[in-house]
C-alpha cells in the first residue's frame, strides 16, 4: 500500500511542446493518502487516462516525479511499482481458462500454488464467476470478459495501489451496482490505495471518499461529495456536478451586494472584499433558488418533468436560471425567484473568491 505523491507532473504527447495548450497534463501537484479511495472525475479528454497511466508507469511524464511512500518510482515499470490496473476494455488471455487468467498475475509474482488457489477461488466467488473456473475465456461475452479483467486486478490484494480506468463501461447497469459495492467492500477489507476513473458523477459520488475533479489537464478540486456540491472552487465543478449543474450569473459586485440587470442581491455575511469589486460571477445551485410570487420577476422558458421533480428554466434579464420544483409543486402564474443566500458562491475568473450566508 502506498501514499502516492505527484510532484509537479506535466505531460505532452507531441515533441517540442511550446504552450500550455500542447500539454495533456498541465500541472498536477498533489499527494494521495495511503489507503484512500479516490475517484478521478472529468469530461472526456481532460487527461484522466493520461494521469492514471503516469501513476501506473505505462507513461513516463515529460516533467515531474512520482513518489510511492517517499520513494521516487518515476523510472520504474508497472510491475516494479507493484500496481494492478484495470482498463476500460477487457485485457485477458483468450486461450487460457478463467482460472488461469486470474492465477497468472499471482504465479508471475511467485505466490505459492496453495495461496494462488485460495485467492483465485475467493475472487471468482466475489465476482460471481465461481462456476466458470475451467471455461476458456474465448467465447465469453464482452462484459463477462471484463469481469475477468476486474478479477485479475482484484486477485492481488497486496498491491501498492489498484487503478481502474472506467472499468464498468461495458458492464450492464444492474451488474454495475453489484460490482461497485463489492469494490467498496474490498477496499474496506484490504485498505489498498484505490484510484477510480469515471466521467459519471453518480458513480464518483457514491463510490469514493474523495473526488478529484479534472478539467483541461488540471486538477481543479479535490473534495468530499458535499464539499464539491456546496463549495465548488471553480465554476466548472459547479456546472459538472449536480443535475442540472450550478447556475452561473454574471454580476457586478459592490460591497456586499451583487447587481445584474435591474436586480440587486444581498450577500449578507460575505467577507469584506476590497479587491472584489466589479464584474464577477455568482454561482447558485438550482436547489437554492425558490420560485414563487416574491422576489425578482422572471419568465419561464421551459419546464422539464423528470419524474421525482421538475426542472424549470427561468429567464431573468436574458440570463437563464434553472430552478428545481418538487413533483407536486406548480409554476406560479406571475413567477418570481429568490436566491437562498446560504447557497451563493462568488467567482472571479471562474475561481471562487467569496460567498454569502
Ligand atoms: P480522458 O481519459 O480524460 O478522456 P486522455 O488522458 O485520454 O483523457 O486524453 C487527454 C488529452 O491527451 C486529449 O486531448 C487526448 O486527445 C490527448 N491524448 C491522449 N492520448 C494520446 C496519445 N497517445 N497521443 C496523442 N495525444 C493523446
Ligand atoms: Mg480515458
Distance CA(11)–CA(17), nearest Å, equals 9
Over residues 302-330, mean pLDDT: 92
- Closest ligand 1 atom to 165 CA: 2
Amino acid 275: pLDDT: 54
Whether the predicted pLDDT of 246 surpasses 80: yes
pLDDT at 276 over 60: no
The yes-or-no verdict on residue 270 having pLDDT over 80 is no
Residue 163 and residue 83 in contact, taking contact as beta carbons nearer than 8 Å? yes
Closest CA to 41 of 235, 175, 237: 237
Contact in structure between 314 and 282 (CB atoms under 8 Å): no
Mean pLDDT over each residue of the chain, to the nearest integer: 91
Residue 203 has a pLDDT of: 87
Q: Report the range of poorest mean pLDDT among 13-17, 169-173, 321-325.
A: 169-173
Of the pLDDT bands very low, low, confident and very high (cuts 50, 70, 90), residue 49 is very high
Q: What residue has cell string 456586499?
A: 256
With residue 338 as reference, give the H or E element that holds it: strand 336-339
- The residue among 235, 270, 302 that closes a domain is 235
CATH number at residue 347: 2.40.50.140
Q: Is residue 198 predicted with pLDDT exceeding 90? A: yes
Q: Tell me, yes or no, whether 99 and 141 share the same domain.
A: yes
- Give the mean model confidence (pLDDT) for residues 24-51: 96
268/222 Cα distance (integer angstroms) = 27
What's the burial of 38, exposed, middle or buried (CB within 10 Å: 0-12/13-18/19+)? Answer: buried
Question: Which among 17, 24, 215 is the best mutation to test ligand 1's pocket, defined by most ligand atoms within 8 Å of the CB?
Answer: 24
Q: Measure 46 CA to ligand 1 centroid, in angstroms.
A: 7
Dihedral pair phi/psi, residue 310, rounded to 5° = -115, 145
Do 184 and 316 lie in one domain? The reply is no
Query: At residue 357, does pLDDT exceed 50?
Result: no
Distance from the alpha carbon of residue 77 to the mean position of ligand 1, in angstroms: 21
DSSP state of 270: P
**Boundary-marking domain end, from 194, 214, 235:** 235
Task: Tell me what pLDDT residue 227 has.
Answer: 93
Tell me if 46 CB under 6 Å of ligand 1.
yes
In this structure, what C-alpha cell is assigned to residue 179? 460490482
List the strands of the sheet with 289-292, edge to edge.
Answer: 289-292, 336-339, 296-297
- Angle formed at CA 85 by CA 80 and CA 89, multiple of 5 degrees: 140
Instruction: Give the pLDDT confidence of 70-129 residue by residue, as tens digits.
Output: 999 999 999 899 999 999 999 999 999 999 999 999 999 899 999 999 999 999 998 888
Which residue has the CA at smallest separation from atom 16 of ligand 1? 45
CA of 227 to the centre of ligand 1 (A): 28
- Cα–Cα nearest to 55, from 84, 34, 17: 84
Residue 240 lies in a domain: no
pLDDT digits (tens, 9 = 90+) for 278-292: 789 999 999 999 999
> Between the CA of residue 226 and those of 6, 28, 78, 210, what are the distances in Å?
25, 23, 34, 10
Do both 186 and 93 map to the same domain?
A: yes
Partners of 192 in the β-ladder: none
pLDDT tens string 147-187: 999 999 999 878 999 999 999 988 888 888 888 888 888 88
Domain carrying residue 291: 246-353
Q: Which residues contact 12 (CB under 8 A, 6 or more apart)?
A: 22, 23, 24, 62
Residues 49 and 179 in one domain: yes
Which ranges in the chain belong to alpha helices (H)?
A: 48-56, 78-81, 98-108, 113-126, 142-154, 173-190, 201-207, 225-230, 235-240
Would 86 be classed as within a structural domain? Answer: yes
CA of 6 to the centre of ligand 1 (A): 19
Q: Which ligand is in closest contact with the Cα of 40?
A: 1
**Cell output for 133:** 473456473
| Closest C-alpha residue for ligand 1 atom 12 | 24
42 shares a domain with 187: yes
Hey, is 260 helix, strand or coil? strand
**pTM of the model as a whole:** 0.91
Pocket probe mutation, ligand 1, options 9, 12, 13, 20, max atoms within 8 Å of Cβ = 13
Decide: 352 in ligand 1 pocket, CB within 6 A. no
Specify the number of domains making up the chain.
Answer: 2
Backbone angles phi, psi at 288, to 5 degrees: -105, 10
| CA-wise closest residue to 240 among 209, 200, 206, 280 | 200
Q: Which atom of ligand 1 is nearest to the CA of 13?
A: 25
Domain shared by 140 and 190, yes or no? yes
Domain identity same for 85 and 22: yes
Cell 459519471, located at residue: 200
Q: Report the phi/psi class of residue 55: left, alpha or beta, with left for phi > 0 and alpha for psi in -120 to 50.
A: alpha
Q: Which of 47, 87, 236 to mutate to test the pocket of ligand 1 (most atoms within 8 A of CB)?
A: 47
Residue 122: how many CB atoms within 10 A of its CB? 14
Q: Is the CB of 45 under 6 A from ligand 1?
A: yes
Q: Could you tell me if the ipTM is greater than 0.85?
A: yes
CA of 165 to the centre of ligand 2 (A): 7
- Ligand 1 near 53 CB (within 6 A): no
Region of 288 on the Ramachandran plot (φ > 0 left; ψ -120 to 50 alpha; else beta): alpha
Amino acid at each position: 500500500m502506498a501514499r502516492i505523491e505527484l510532484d509537479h507532473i506535466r505531460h505532452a504527447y507531441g515533441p517540442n511542446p511550446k504552450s500550455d495548450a500542447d500539454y495533456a497534463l498541465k500541472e498536477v501537484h498533489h499527494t494521495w493518502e495511503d489507503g484512500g479511495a479516490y475517484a478521478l472525475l472529468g469530461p472526456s479528454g481532460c487527461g484522466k487516462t493520461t494521469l492514471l497511466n503516469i501513476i501506473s508507469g505505462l507513461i513516463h511524464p515529460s516533467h515531474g516525479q512520482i513518489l510511492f511512500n517517499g520513494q521516487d518510482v518515476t523510472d520504474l515499470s508497472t510491475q516494479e511499482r507493484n500496481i494492478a490496473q484495470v482498463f476500460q476494455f477487457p485485457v485477458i488471455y483468450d486461450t487460457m481458462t478463467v482460472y488461469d487468467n486470474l492465477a497468472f498475475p499471482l504465479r508471475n509474482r511467485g505466490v505459492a500454488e496453495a495461496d494462488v488457489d485460495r485467492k483465485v477461488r475467493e475472487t471468482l466467488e466475489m465476482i460471481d464467476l465461481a462456476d466458470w473456473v475451467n471455461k476458456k475465456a474465448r467465447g465469453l461475452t464482452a462484459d463477462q470478459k471484463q469481469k475477468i479483467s476486474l478479477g485479475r486486478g482484484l486477485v492481488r490484494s497486496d498491491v501498492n495501489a489498484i487503478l481502474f480506468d472506467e472499468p464498468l463501461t461495458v458492464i450492464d447497469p444492474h451488474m454495475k451496482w453489484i460490482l461497485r459495492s463489492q469494490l467498496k467492500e474490498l477496499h474496506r477489507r484490504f485498505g489498498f490505495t484505490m484510484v477510480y476513473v469515471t466521467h459519471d458523477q453518480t458513480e464518483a459520488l457514491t463510490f469514493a471518499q474523495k473526488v478529484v475533479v479534472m478539467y483541461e489537464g488540471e486538477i481543479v478540486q479535490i473534495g468530499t461529495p458535499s464539499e464539491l456540491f456546496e463549495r465548488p472552487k471553480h465554476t466548472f465543478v459547479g456546472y459538472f456536478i449536480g443535475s442540472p449543474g450550478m447556475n452561473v450569473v454574471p454580476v457586478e459586485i459592490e460591497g456586499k451586494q451583487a447587481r445584474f440587470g435591474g436586480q440587486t442581491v444581498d450577500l449578507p455575511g460575505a467577507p469584506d472584499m476590497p479587491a472584489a469589486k466589479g464584474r464577477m460571477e455568482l454561482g447558485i445551485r438550482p436547489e437554492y433558488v425558490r420560485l414563487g410570487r416574491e422576489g425578482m420577476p422572471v419568465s419561464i422558458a421551459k419546464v422539464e418533468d423528470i419524474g421525482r421533480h421538475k426542472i424549470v428554466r427561468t429567464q431573468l434579464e436574458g440570463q437563464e436560471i434553472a430552478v428545481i420544483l418538487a413533483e407536486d409543486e406548480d409554476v406560479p402564474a406571475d413567477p418570481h425567484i429568490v436566491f437562498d443566500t446560504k447557497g451563493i458562491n462568488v467567482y472571479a475568473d471562474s475561481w471562487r473568491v467569496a460567498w454569502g450566508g
